Amino acid sequence: MKSPTRTTRPHADAPASDPLPAADVHGLRELPGVRVEGYSLQLRDKDGFVGDQASQTAFRELLERWRKRRRKSGRDPLGKLHSRDLSKKTLDRVLGAKKTSEAGDVMQGVIEEFAGELASVIQRFLRQPSWRKVERIVIGGGFPESDVGERAILQTGAILEELGQHVQLGRLSHNVDDGGLIGWVHLAPPAMLRRYDAILAVDIGGTNVRCGIVKTRWRKASDFSRAGVVRREKWRHADEGPNRSVMVEHIADMLMDMVRYSERKKLRLAPFVGIGCPGLIRPDGSIARGAQNLPGDWESQAFHLPTAVWRRLLALGSDPMLVLMHNDAVVQGLSELPFMRDVKHWGVLTIGTGLGNVSFSNTPIPKAQKDED
């Protein structure tokens, strides 16, 4: 697959004469079988961004406030560690204890308050034009993978029902670390997918970066319902605090590790990399807004992530490399596409460092794909 010369504005790290990935193909909204109605909504109220009230970060801050109140009247039942440093396993252990305890009471109180905040945020989203018809919301991100998170989601569903908001809440069908990678099979060029066994994908979050090899298995299921991650690496960059350049270099190194693994396993790897990233993605692959949780200025006019990654990978085999970018919540949502054909309108909320959001409308499946099924 030949990549035409970029025709959009040049970036500081990309001279216009270089043969780069095609212009105006990032952040696509019209896809086979589905339309992206809206994503990366940034609703505001007097306290700032509405979504920030229902993120994993917000849950930890809420827990800390509850603990501070307990400290004023006596001992903190959860010890000395700050709430942001308590592991999910520790919180799940407190919640799952058989005996009633002060720590368990605190956790239950925090869960109920957070569920109320999340229900309020969901109501705000459902009042937006792009979300108004949503019938089902899939909850992704790192938060719901814990018992605490799952309890909070169930409580949120109960609150919404009491408020007369009849919307289904569900969980990702895939492992939470895989959804943001698998979704790329619905965004990569179909002709390319049929010539190779697998693709490379990257999922960038405010805390972690995930990189993996996605096997399409399209011969077994043309709707990609059998697609899966055969190898994945996870880097918790928040612990190291890298600057933007170091982070890009590390991502490129992770991808090269995947290339070498594919060679050893004799996987036919497509010359393609899909990058999911927070924020609103312009058609030329730059970030318009919403990347504030990443280190450095990712919205700079002088920075273009697809090009930065492309330059470090060049080509796989004889074909030029194609690097595409889209919003991380969109990609994670698309991993659910084969399992969402029973509803017309659906959405995804990813509860991580921030709150990612996207809404979809299903469209008729292309005839060629139906014939293959």
Q: pLDDT tens across 168-180, in order? A: 999 998 888 999 9
pLDDT for the residue numbered 52: 83
Spatial distance between the Cα atoms of 317 and 358, rounded to a whole number of angstroms: 35
Closest CA to 203 of 223, 174, 225: 174
pLDDT for the residue numbered 369: 57
pLDDT for the residue numbered 316: 61
The domain made up of 175-335 has a fold known as: Nucleotidyltransferase; domain 5 (3.30.420)
Closest CA to 348 of 135, 95, 65: 135
Domain boundaries along the sequence of the chain: 44-171, 175-335
Mean pLDDT of the chain: 88
Residue 356 in this model has a pLDDT that exceeds 60: yes
Span 360-370, average pLDDT: 77
Global pTM? Answer: 0.86
Spatial distance between the Cα atoms of 281 and 85, rounded to a whole number of angstroms: 32
315-333, pLDDT tens digit by residue? 566 677 899 999 999 999 9
pLDDT for the residue numbered 246: 94
pLDDT for the residue numbered 181: 97
Phi-psi region of 317 (alpha: psi -120 to 50; beta: other; left: phi over 0): left
pLDDT for the residue numbered 42: 84
Residue 244 in this model has a pLDDT that exceeds 80: yes
Residue 209 in this model has a pLDDT that exceeds 50: yes
Closest CA to 192 of 48, 321, 58, 348: 321
Span 93-99, average pLDDT: 91
Span 81-105, average pLDDT: 92
Residue 7 in this model has a pLDDT that exceeds 50: no
Element (H, E) at 292: none
